[in-house]
Amino acid sequence: MLFDELKTVLISIGLPEEELTPETGREEAGLDSLAIAELALVLRRDGGLAVEEDEIHAAATLGEVAAAVRGGKVAAP
Amino acid sequence: MSGAEVCVTGIGLVTPAGDGREAGWERVCKGLPASTLEREGDALRLACRVPPFDPGRVGRARARKPDRCAQLALLAASEAVADAGLEPGRWDGARVAVVVGTGSGGAGTLEAEHRALLERGPAYVSPFAVPSSLANSVAAQLAIEFGASGPGLTVNTACASGATAVGTARDLLALDRCDIALVGGAEASLTPYYFAGFSQLGALSERFEDPTGALRPFDVDRDGFVMGEGAGILVLERPADARARRVRVRARIVGYGASSDAHHVVSPHPGGVGITAAVRAALADAGAGAADVAHVNAHGTGTRRGDSIEAAVLATLLPHRPPVTSTKGVTGHLLGAAGAVEAALTALTVERGLLPPTANLRRLGPGIDLDVVTECRPAAPALALSTSVGFGGHNAVLVVAVP
């Protein structure tokens, strides 16, 4: 997933747009465990992507989150 | 407890009458009903909605997924806190309480997520479904937003919730549980479930041919209420604290009375025993007599039975016939928010010396012997009542006085 695509999803789940750069820390951006669960749900529901929440938890920055999502598999319908 | 009074130092309103305190007050005084006709598939329905607002105004709280009910409360609370001249970053949060009355809490979230559960399965239910739909989510969102780490309470007495919340916050201040109370009511249940449920009860007006004339408090042709959404938040402080801050006091809450009919799940007691007891308790609490009441902001939802019973109680208890208003003719019935919004409107009434009219009242119904205000009327009520009644037989009455 490209960072800009991730950014669009993050904005849609209510994260503040002005703080979303690839270098922004995951927690600093507000991507806590509840928000990660929400992100995984939206990616699964709207993008058909199955992502491992543990991998997103392991990401330190939003750039790393995008990379983790990029490795996501297409979810079974 | 009797004689414990608190000052209203801030008011915020987000209602169908207007986005903001002054916009709402202006429309209420003009007597312009906010009710509109909506189509849902083949069905018609009447509703009073808050004017559209930019979701960006909810600010960082958006990331916490507040239900619309909490969003309306956040907007109203921001206005109330600013009105009181308070800066949340600079107060002692541990001494700030939040008390919210709501009937259905996050009903919109609950219904949407329940649809997702049924249509797509449990894996598609948002992790925010529970924290955003619980009734306490409104008080929680306000506490987080304003750093109010004192007591946080959610009260539910159905359509009396907002008034019960104000009375409860008054008690917390009197007991020194807090120094500042953010208190009010919020409701956003213009949802399929509540439209259907209230309709099946026969509580809603079906005057689809005349949407703005549908909710007619005390009128001979009244046929039920129109559901509305909204929030009203007040900032309450003890008089000594308000004086020490040299802040403008809009009004005082000098009495509170509550009761239960203990009679029926929806019908008020035909003899009005519960509302009578609540009015008497509120006046005793204020150390006032019936003759001191110069104005009543009535519950007056426009239902046939409810208005008749309330009118009979007021006529019996207040034989000097003080002017009575039901602002629901303009705002619609804001359910759990109604009591707080009306407490705020009553505070503005005594502050500004203007009695708002009762919209859509053309001819009083039989047996209603009240001086119901039909045109905005200059007056200077030193003491006013705000009455609220809720399903289940809950009654809450506030006594509002000039500063």
Q: Measured between alpha carbons, how far is B341 from B266 in angstroms, rounded to an integer?
A: 22
Please tell me the predicted confidence (pLDDT) of residue B2: 55
Active site residue B299: yes
Identify whether the C-beta of residue B392 lies closer than 8 Å to the C-beta of residue B260. yes
pLDDT band at A73 (very low <50, low <70, confident <90, very high): low
* Closest residue to A15, CB basis, from B63, B120, B126: B63
Terminal Cα distance for chain B, rounded: 20
Chain A residues with beta carbon closer than 8 angstroms to that of B127: 34, 37-38, 41
Strands B96-101 and B152-155: parallel
Q: Which residue of A has its CA nearest to B120?
A: A45
Residue A74 has pLDDT above 70, yes or no: no
Please tell me the predicted confidence (pLDDT) of residue A64: 94
Distance of residue A67 Cα from the nearest chain B Cα, in angstroms: 22
Q: Which of B297, B253, B232 is nearest to B400 (CA)?
A: B253
Distances (CA, A) of B201 to B194, B209, B256, B333: 10, 21, 30, 15
Two structure tokens written together for B391 = 């399903």
The DSSP bridge partners found for residue B400 are B253, B384
Residue ranges of alpha helices (H) inside B31-94 are 68-83
- Residue predicted with more confidence, B341 or A16: B341
Residues constituting chain A: 77
Contact B60 A35 (CB under 8 A): no
Chain A: residues touching B (Cβ < 8 Å): 13-16, 30, 34-35, 37-38, 41, 44-45
Give the pLDDT confidence of A8-66 residue by residue, as tens digits: 999 999 898 888 999 999 999 999 999 999 999 999 988 888 888 999 999 999 999 99
Please tell me the predicted confidence (pLDDT) of residue B62: 87
Residue B296 has pLDDT above 50, yes or no: yes
Neighbours of B403 (CB within 10 A): 15
Burial grade of B41 (CB within 10 A; 0-12, 13-18, 19 or more): exposed
* Closest residue to B63, CB basis, from A35, A37, A41: A35
Distances (CA, A) of B219 to B209, B210, B342: 17, 15, 20
The CA-based angle B338-B340-B343, given to 5 degrees, is 105
For CA atoms B137, B139, B140, B145, the dihedral sign is positive
Contact B63 A30 (CB under 8 A): yes
Chain B residues with beta carbon closer than 8 angstroms to that of A39: none
Q: Measured between alpha carbons, how far is B64 from B109 in angstroms, rounded to an integer?
A: 13
pLDDT band at B3 (very low <50, low <70, confident <90, very high): low
Identify whether the C-beta of residue B253 lies closer than 8 Å to the C-beta of residue B166. yes
Distances (CA, A) of B310 to B44, B274, B275, B297, B398: 30, 10, 7, 12, 15
Please tell me the predicted confidence (pLDDT) of residue B286: 97
Identify whether the C-beta of residue B232 lies closer than 8 Å to the C-beta of residue B50. no
Q: The whole model's pTM is what?
A: 0.96
Residue A76 has pLDDT above 60, yes or no: no
Q: Which of B302, B295, B275, B313 is nearest to B371 (CA)?
A: B295
Strands B96-101 and B230-237: unpaired
Chain B residues with beta carbon closer than 8 angstroms to that of A16: 60, 63
Distance of residue B185 Cα from the nearest chain A Cα, in angstroms: 25
Residue with tokens 């509120």: B282
Distances (CA, A) of B323 to A19, B154, B178, B382: 55, 32, 35, 13
Q: Measured between alpha carbons, how far is B154 from B203 in angstroms, rounded to an integer?
A: 25
Identify whether the C-beta of residue B72 lies closer than 8 Å to the C-beta of residue B336. no
Two structure tokens written together for A16 = 């503040």
Active site residue B333: yes
Among B29, B159, B295, B394, the active-site one is B159
Residue A1 has pLDDT above 80, yes or no: no
Contact A41 B65 (CB under 8 A): no
Mean residue pLDDT of chain B comes to 97
Give the pLDDT confidence of B247-292 residue by residue, as tens digits: 999 999 999 999 999 999 988 999 999 999 999 999 999 999 999 9
Two structure tokens written together for B15 = 């209602």
Contact A38 B123 (CB under 8 A): no
Please tell me the predicted confidence (pLDDT) of residue B1: 43
Burial grade of B52 (CB within 10 A; 0-12, 13-18, 19 or more): exposed
Chain A residues with beta carbon closer than 8 angstroms to that of B64: 14
Q: Measured between alpha carbons, how far is B46 from B96 in angstroms, rounded to an integer?
A: 38
Rounded to whole angstroms, the maximal C-alpha distance in chain A is 34
The DSSP bridge partners found for residue B252 are B7, B401
Give the pLDDT confidence of B311-334 residue by residue, as tens digits: 999 999 999 999 999 999 999 999
The CA-based angle B95-B88-B20, given to 5 degrees, is 115
Distance of residue B46 Cα from the nearest chain A Cα, in angstroms: 31
Q: Which residues of B54-81 are buried (b: 16+ CB within 10 A; e: fewer)?
A: eeeebeebbbbbbbbbbbbbbbbbbbbb
SS3 string, B186-212, reads EECCCCHHHHHHHHHHCCECCCCCCHH
Average pLDDT over residues B184-212: 97
Chain B residues with beta carbon closer than 8 angstroms to that of A13: 63, 65
Give the pLDDT confidence of B346-388 residue by residue, as tens digits: 999 999 999 999 999 999 999 999 999 999 999 999 999 999 9
Neighbours of A10 (CB within 10 A): 27
Residue B180 has pLDDT above 70, yes or no: yes
Residue B132 has pLDDT above 60, yes or no: yes
Active site residue B159: yes
